[in-house]
Amino acid sequence: MSEELKQILSKLDEMGRDVNELKSGQTRMEERMTSMDGRIESMDRRIESMDEKIVSMDGRITSMDERMNRMDENIEELKTGQKVLTDGQRGLRTEINTRFNETKERFDFVDRQLRLLDVDFSGIEEKMKHHDRDIHRLKNL
């Protein structure tokens, strides 16, 4: 064999080894890619699960917002009702005070009238005693 042929065969052997190394590297790369594909799919599932949880949380937050709005409306209604009651209570107190003062004035007037009547009765009683005495004297004469 000639020297050239030996060199060509040697080069072919080296190229064969290089091709085998490339095939082996490609196999390792394919395995890594397959592994990465599995991890990516797992990540996709996790992300989808997280998306579902976020959608669920959005629904809950929306529900909570609606409840908060209803509670705010209820609080406003209660405040309005309380204001009406407070104003009514003030009005009642004013009315009670007015009626109390009117009643006191009337009782004071009636009390004065009764005292005057008592004085009048005392005077009438005194006059009756005098008349009785005078009648008794006239009868005895």
Taking only the tens place, the pLDDT of each residue in 113-134 is: 999 999 999 999 999 999 999 9
Taking only the tens place, the pLDDT of each residue in 63-118 is 999 999 999 999 999 999 999 999 999 999 999 999 999 999 999 999 999 999 99
Q: How far is CA 136 from the centre of its chain?
A: 93
pLDDT at 1 over 70: no
Rounded CA gap, 18 and 6, in Å?
18
Instruction: Quote the pTM value.
Output: 0.47
Task: Give the rounded percent of residues in the chain with a pLDDT score beyond 70.
Answer: 99
